[in-house]
């Protein structure tokens, strides 16, 4: 085990944490928004993200990253809409267990379709000629800066939408008090659909970003990311949009510190361990108090 000695290691960990943290946060937002309204963990959300990553793989020769992000957002938004309409909506009002089992089914279904189409092995995203920028002895590529910028732009857009638009206000009302919101005439079905579409679009964008960051995709990245992003959402207080922002970055930084200190193979386990600790110590999350309304 190495000890963290210099500033540069800490800086590098912080930079790496910010790159993937934005991606975690984008996926966590989908969990938290759906949970806010339906009080249900959309287990298939990680798989929508995985589909986004495969969109990046397919389009890598034709489009540059930000263009793929737009296409993936469109495709994944459509996918989210289909999942909601076909699998979840007919179950409205049924037992919670039925919902959860369906979500597990949808998740494995998407994974097996992608496996049949692309195979179970790694698919490589060829590196683009990104410039390496050094800050002290820490480094970041121009591609990674673009990843951070795209993630931030999407988060700011979501913030504006949730705060100022009519639909955003209605969504906040629904997650604040479902029954009252319904009574005053907020169209629940339409907004549920909107939340699924928006959450899936963000996951799709995140999928493209992670594909470029890790330069490889496999059908199992959905489940991996699913647990991390869910942990981020729980850490921030599930149902809280701003909690999910912060949770995403925190989990990513903790994971990077852990990856630095632990033997290589174990870094995947960090998010799970964090999840279990949060649930033991503070299951309502860090910011449940005032972030609850958002």
- Binding stretches for another protein (CB under 8 A): 39-41, 43, 87, 90-91, 94-98, 100-102, 104-109, 111-113, 115-116, 120, 223, 227, 230-231, 234, 263, 265-266, 268-269, 271-273, 275-276, 279-280, 283
Question: How near is the Cβ of 37 to another protein at its closest, in Å?
Answer: 14
Nearer to another protein, 97 or 131 (CB): 97
Question: How near is the Cβ of 104 to another protein at its closest, in Å?
Answer: 6
Nearer to another protein, 83 or 210 (CB): 83
CB 157 within 8 A of CB 27: no
Nearer to another protein, 146 or 252 (CB): 252
HSE-up (13 A, CA, CB side) for residue 282: 12
Nearer to another protein, 87 or 186 (CB): 87
Nearer to another protein, 172 or 268 (CB): 268
Question: How near is the Cβ of 123 to another protein at its closest, in Å?
Answer: 15
Question: Exposed, middle or buried, 128 (CB in 10 Å: 0-12/13-18/19+)?
Answer: middle
Residue-wise DSSP of 82-97? HIIIIIIGGGTTS-HH
Q: CA-CA distances (angstroms) from residue 1 to 9, 46, 217, 263?
A: 14, 32, 30, 8
Question: How near is the Cβ of 208 to another protein at its closest, in Å?
Answer: 24
Question: Exposed, middle or buried, 256 (CB in 10 Å: 0-12/13-18/19+)?
Answer: buried
Please report how the helices 221-235 and 241-261 are oriented relative to each other, as an axis angle in degrees rounded to 10.
Answer: 120
Question: How near is the Cβ of 188 to another protein at its closest, in Å?
Answer: 20
């Amino acid at each position: 085990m190495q000890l963290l000695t210099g500033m540069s290691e800490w800086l590098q960990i912080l930079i790496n944490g910010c790159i993937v943290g934005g991606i975690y946060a984008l996926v966590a937002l989908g969990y938290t928004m759906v949970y806010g309204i339906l009080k249900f963990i959309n287990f298939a959300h990680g798989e929508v993200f995985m589909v986004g990553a495969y969109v990046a793989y397919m389009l890598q020769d034709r489009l540059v990253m930000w263009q793929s992000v737009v296409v993936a957002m469109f495709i994944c938004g459509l996918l989210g809409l289909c999942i909601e309409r076909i699998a979840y909506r007919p179950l409205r009002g049924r037992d919670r267990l039925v919902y959860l089992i369906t979500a597990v089914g949808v998740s494995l279904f998407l994974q097996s379709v992608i496996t049949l189409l692309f195979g179970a092995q790694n698919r490589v995203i060829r590196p683009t000629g990104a410039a390496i920028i050094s800050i002290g002895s820490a480094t970041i590529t121009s591609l990674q800066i673009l990843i951070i910028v795209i993630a931030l732009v999407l988060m700011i857009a979501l913030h504006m939408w949730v705060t100022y638009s009519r639909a955003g206000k209605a969504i906040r009302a629904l997650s604040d008090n479902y029954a009252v919101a319904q009574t005053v005439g907020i169209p629940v079905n339409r907004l549920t659909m909107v939340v699924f579409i928006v959450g899936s679009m963000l996951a799709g964008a995140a999928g493209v970003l992670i594909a470029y960051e890790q330069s490889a995709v496999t059908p199992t990245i959905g489940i991996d990311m699913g647990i991390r992003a869910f942990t981020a959402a729980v850490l921030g207080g599930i149902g809280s949009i701003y909690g999910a922002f912060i949770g995403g970055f925190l989990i990513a930084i903790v994971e990077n510190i852990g990856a630095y200190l632990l033997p290589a193979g174990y870094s995947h386990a960090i998010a799970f361990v964090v999840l279990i600790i949060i649930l033991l110590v503070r299951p309502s999350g860090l910011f449940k108090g005032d972030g609850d309304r958002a």
